[in-house]
Amino acid sequence: MRRREFLKHTASAAVLPSIIDGFSVKAFSTSPMLAALQGAATDNDHVLVMIQLTGGNDGLNMVIPLDIYDKYQAARSNIAIQQGKVLPLANNIKTGIHPAMTGIQQLYDDGKVCILQSVGYPSPDYSHFRATDIWLSGSGSKEILNTGWGGRYLGFEYPNFPEGFPNADAPDPLAIQIGSLVSPVFQGSAASMGIAITSATDFYDLLENPPIDPVPNTHWGDELTYIRLIAKQSDKYTDSIKLAAGKVTQQSPYPANNDLAAQLKIVARLVAGGLKTRMYMVSTGGFDTHASQTEAGDTSKGYHAELLGKVSAAIKAFMDDLTKLKVSKRVVGMTFSEFGRRTKSNGSMGTDHGAAAPMIVFGDYVLQGVLGNSPNIPDAASVGDNIPMQYDFRSVYASILEQWFCVKESDLKTILLEDYQRLPIVSGIACGLITSTDDVNQNAGINYITNYPNPFADKTYLKYKTKGGHTMIQIFDTTGRLIQVPVNKIHTPGDYTITFDGEDLPNGVYYARFQNGTIQQVRTMLKVR
């Protein structure tokens, strides 16, 4: 790789001494500034904390379908959580959570958690690296983006970054990653919009004491000038972080030997200290549970239980700390993983790479509830079966941008590159928007899409009911692969019927996903000869 390409793609870094609990600050960027997106920073102090569960979390053992427990237990008899040990959720008889997640249960019962069922995307990728890239960039499975969804948002709000930053209006880092590298989620159109808080390295000396020689008038000289700019900015950002951290001298207790809790403790300290940073990313790993996911004698215990217990305890301690520090109303958090696991467990008491999985969103302004139905599980699940997608993960991003960061509806497509369904996740009080779970929950018993005959041999008729506006039907197979999109248009309200031709498809189970406004529904179809 040429030197210029190395600088562009491996990200130059300015590393500073340890300043907070043994962590230090590192700023990353790529090539010199190109044309930036236009926009003005939305005037609020809202903060989003993203919690990445790396490895592919088994969502079916995290959020457990009590209303179809028999199918769940039959599909994974060697690892299914005992029904009597599943933690119930307030005012919800269909869904429970893993017994290790008492902290999340308490937050849910206090009205501070929203659970979204079966979040994914069409034609999922089962590679850890590629799937992570898709989630961080907000791309489709066949699309490569060089920016992150958070970076595009921050670039929209602060179009001239990094030139002139920090300044009086934006004195603090725009985004912070707790970890050794800045996440690609913060990559803007020409520069990373974030910095990392991590251990110091020898690279700091290079950027702290740049050579006094004049910068040559070459491409390399341009890059060197840019590196020195980033280093200078890092010095200033270090001062603002030190100032914010110094304002908080006491925090609530956090669980020991919990890496996620240690990261969230720093985030709470910086938020309470008045840092104006908009986005934080923290992460914890180990969720690639191909084997020994549970204990043989008690499936509520084991490796996965330890992971979920750690996440739950860390989030509960974080929210308790924010509340005591009187800044909890500034924060919304969300968990995500690069993919879920298969419906059927394997013979090693584990689960293999799968498709859709639940997400947890939490905060004082979050609307309590479980969005979506229990996942579709076949009567006789096979090793190839996946949880069919109910919600596109980019719909979650769009909802948070609009309902929490108060981004205008007309600007969402600029940031996310496409129009995505918005879901009732954050209370309308936060941005003065109308958001309600009424349509999602009160209409849960209505069949918005049916098909007949079912089973079918070659063709089946899809009948659907729309309230008007954008209406979409997608057809998936059991791997999550998108087969067809027979409906994707603006409709007038009413009942409609179309013909789905599956003559060329192999026998098996297929899923018809209906979407209209905040409503979605998945219909299981069976093709036989």
Q: CA gyration radius for the chain?
A: 24
381 close to 344: Cβ distance less than 8 angstroms: yes
Residues 363 and 484 both lie in one domain: no
Amino acid at residue number 401: L
Residue 302 inside a domain? The answer is yes
Residues 336 and 300 both lie in one domain: yes
- CB atoms closer than 10 angstroms to residue 507: 11
Burial grade of 208 (CB within 10 A; 0-12, 13-18, 19 or more): middle
Residues 305 and 324 both lie in one domain: yes
Q: H or E segment at 104?
A: helix 102-109
Q: How far apart are CA 403 and CA 478, in angstroms?
A: 33
Q: What pLDDT score does 238 carry? A: 78
Containing structural domain, residue 490: 449-527
Please enumerate in sequence order all residues whose Cβ is within 8 A of that of 507, keeping only pairs 6 or more positions apart, or say none: 527, 528, 529
Residue 4 inside a domain? The answer is no
The count of C-alpha atoms lying within 13 angstroms of the C-alpha of 148, restricted to the half-sphere facing its C-beta, is: 21
Q: How far apart are CA 528 and CA 509, in angstroms?
A: 9
Residues 234 and 360 both lie in one domain: yes
Please enumerate in sequence order all residues whose Cβ is within 8 A of that of 183, keeping only pairs 6 or more positions apart, or say none: 52, 136, 148, 177, 194, 281
Q: What pLDDT score does 27 carry? A: 52
Tokens representing residue 164 in the block? 């002139």
Residues 186 and 309 both lie in one domain: yes
Longest dimension (CA), the chain: 79
Residues 101 and 62 both lie in one domain: yes
Q: How far apart are CA 472 and CA 450, in angstroms?
A: 14
Based on the structure, what is the number of domains in the chain? 2
Residues 472 and 407 both lie in one domain: no
Amino acid at residue number 136: L
Amino acid at residue number 415: I
Q: Give the residue from 410, 439, 468 where a domain finishes.
A: 439
Residues 403 and 508 both lie in one domain: no
Residues 45 and 85 both lie in one domain: yes
Residue 77: what are its φ and ψ, rounded to 5°?
-60, -25
Residues 316 and 376 both lie in one domain: yes
Global pTM reads 0.84
Q: What pLDDT score does 444 carry? A: 56
Residues 422 and 465 both lie in one domain: no
Residues 382 and 299 both lie in one domain: yes
Q: What pLDDT score does 31 carry? A: 33
The side-by-side arrangement of strands in the sheet containing 63-65 is: 63-65, 92-97, 87-89
Mean pLDDT by 10 residues, the chain (529 residues): 36 44 53 33 84 98 97 96 97 96 98 97 96 97 95 94 87 89 89 75 33 56 55 68 88 95 93 95 96 95 98 98 97 98 96 97 97 93 92 97 94 95 93 55 72 92 93 91 92 94 91 90 90
